[in-house]
Amino acid sequence: MSLPFDVAVRATDARVLEPNGAPGELRIVTDTRVLQTGDAFLALRGDRFDGHDYVAQAVAKGARALIVDDAAVAVAGVTTLVVADTLAAYMALARAMRETFAGQVVGITGSVGKTTTKELLLQLLIGSRGDRVAASPANENNEIGVSKFLLANADASHDVLVVEMGARHFEDIAALVRVAGPDIGVLTNVGEAHVEIMGSRERLAQTKWGLFSGGALAILNARDEVSLQRAPSLTQAPHWFAAGDDRISTGGRTTLILGKARLLEIDSHETVERAIDVALPGLHNRANLAAAVAAARELGVDLDTIVETIPRLRLPPGRFERIAIEGRPSIVYDAYNANLTGTLAALETFADEPADRHLVVLAGMAELGEEAPEMHRRVGEAAAASDVDVFLIGGAFVDDLERGARDAGFSAERIVRFATNEDVVRWIARNAVPGDAVLLKGSRVYKLEEVVERLRGDLG
């Protein structure tokens, strides 16, 4: 997708060098490896790279325009937009593209479940809209990823764009909202993820609530304390969602999933109930599904289509991913990331896995601030209460994990400490047998995917 040259200049407040021969439209790229003849190269700066170092390479590959914040790298004869900051310019260009988009944008954020909710919503929408819906890929949910996605997809070939929004710093979500301009905002929950970086739970909540700073219709978790507290501040009534075994009343439009077999839609006039078949493991994933259903309904997807699609829904990779190794223990890899809420949910779900023994490998949770020791103690306690047979623990808060398990009555011989992922591989190879189930849970910093790779190689 391209932007008219004059629109790009206005959006970035750029000073134009070599305006003669400027292209009428700009297709903007930031990576010379994918640059095509005629593209505009925007030079981003990162922690380990500076796009300005690749300007000459971009021109050699056929770039017809440059967007830089250092005029010294301009190339004679090539139209150059000199801006104050290339990241800010990239976001401004994405916003300009968003303003041309005639479809609807859904923004999704939350402490846990945002990627799963995004993928479930995408699957529900494909059932009715086919390839006219697009969702931001993988975890490209920051300023660069969201801008890249909008610049590539905010065009007439799409009716709906689903944008995941992540936050690493205070008020990050509001900044992404200014770029993406969501019509609908889905907030899965406000937990404790990244509280260390945010500085406090209140600042974390304020950051997540930034999803609605542009006036998006709010889709909120009826079991989330922060959402219940802050909902009265919204300019329009939210659409609530929840999952569980009991019916919850919000006084407004609500989508409920009760157990694994009932879907309820409640508003002030009537209640509609449908039988459904949910194959997704865990109460937390049924809550993510309820959020996705609520968003799909706000986008006009027919309830019959949703009910028909639900049995075929699948979780994204790394989320309670079952890995079968013939003749060996089954593996449940749920280590895309970890925080208290997600880890407790994983333990509860894993307890229902059919197995002779339940073996839990926990590498720890990151970025939890001063509450981290207590949160790890609670995880250890929960493991002891969830019918875990052996608890393998490691990471920076291993003492707190063991303390929680021991205080809850877990015997010492059922606790195994590990220092490296290789220790985990060796222990499983020597001690796990067919019929066992192994849960791998931990934050990305611990790279538990290495365990999966080695188990596939050593045990497969």
From 17, 51, 86, the end of a domain falls on 86
Two tokens, residue 289: 């599904």
Q: Give me the pLDDT at residue 459, please.
A: 43
Q: Give me the pLDDT at residue 197, please.
A: 62
Instruction: Kindly state whether residues 248 and 168 are assigned to the same domain.
Output: yes
Residue 159 has pLDDT above 70, yes or no: yes
256 inside domain: yes
Q: Give me the pLDDT at residue 65, please.
A: 97
pLDDT band at 192 (very low <50, low <70, confident <90, very high): low
CATH of the domain at 258: 3.40.1190.10
The region of weakest confidence among 51-65, 70-84, 329-343, 418-432 is: 329-343
The residue among 388, 372, 382, 389 whose CA lies nearest residue 404 is: 382
| Nearest 10 degrees: Cα torsion 280, 285, 289, 294 | 160
91 inside domain: no
pLDDT band at 215 (very low <50, low <70, confident <90, very high): very high
pLDDT in tens, 270-309: 899 999 999 999 999 999 999 999 999 999 999 999 999 9
Q: What angle, 0 to 180 degrees and rounded to 10, lies between the N-to-C axes of helices 283-298 and 340-350?
A: 110
Instruction: Kindly state whether residues 139 and 119 are assigned to the same domain.
Output: yes
Mean pLDDT of the chain: 93
Instruction: Kindly state whether residues 349 and 431 are assigned to the same domain.
Output: yes
211 inside domain: yes
Q: Give me the pLDDT at residue 13, please.
A: 98
Q: Tell me the torsion sign for CA atoms 131, 133, 134, 135.
A: negative
Instruction: Kindly state whether residues 373 and 436 are assigned to the same domain.
Output: yes
What is the β-pairing status of strands 40-42 and 65-68?
parallel
pLDDT in tens, 111-126: 889 999 999 999 999 9
64 inside domain: yes
201 inside domain: yes
From 258, 284, 312, the end of a domain falls on 312
Q: Give me the pLDDT at residue 460, please.
A: 41
Instruction: Kindly state whether residues 162 and 231 are assigned to the same domain.
Output: yes
67 inside domain: yes
Instruction: Kindly state whether residues 9 and 82 are assigned to the same domain.
Output: yes
406 inside domain: yes
Instruction: Kindly state whether residues 347 and 418 are assigned to the same domain.
Output: yes
Instruction: Kindly state whether residues 149 and 279 are assigned to the same domain.
Output: yes
What residues make up the domain containing 140?
A: 101-312
Contacts of 323 (CB under 8 A, 6+ apart): 330, 331, 332, 333, 452, 456
CATH of the domain at 381: 3.90.190.20
Looking at the structure of the chain, the number of domains it has is 3
92 inside domain: no
Instruction: Kindly state whether residues 196 and 290 are assigned to the same domain.
Output: yes
Q: What is the CA radius of gyration of the chain?
A: 24
Burial grade of 102 (CB within 10 A; 0-12, 13-18, 19 or more): exposed
Instruction: Kindly state whether residues 120 and 253 are assigned to the same domain.
Output: yes
Residue 348 has pLDDT above 80, yes or no: yes
CB 204 within 8 A of CB 169: no
Instruction: Kindly state whether residues 286 and 182 are assigned to the same domain.
Output: yes
From 290, 312, 334, the end of a domain falls on 312
CATH of the domain at 32: 3.40.1390.10
Q: What is the mean pLDDT of residues 196-216?
A: 86
Contacts of 318 (CB under 8 A, 6+ apart): 333, 334, 335, 336, 449
Q: 18-22, 56-60, 332-336 — which one is most confidently predicted on average? A: 56-60
Instruction: Kindly state whether residues 214 and 258 are assigned to the same domain.
Output: yes
What is the β-pairing status of strands 415-417 and 357-362?
unpaired
| Nearest 10 degrees: Cα torsion 204, 207, 209, 213 | 170
Q: What is the mean pLDDT of residues 190-213?
A: 80
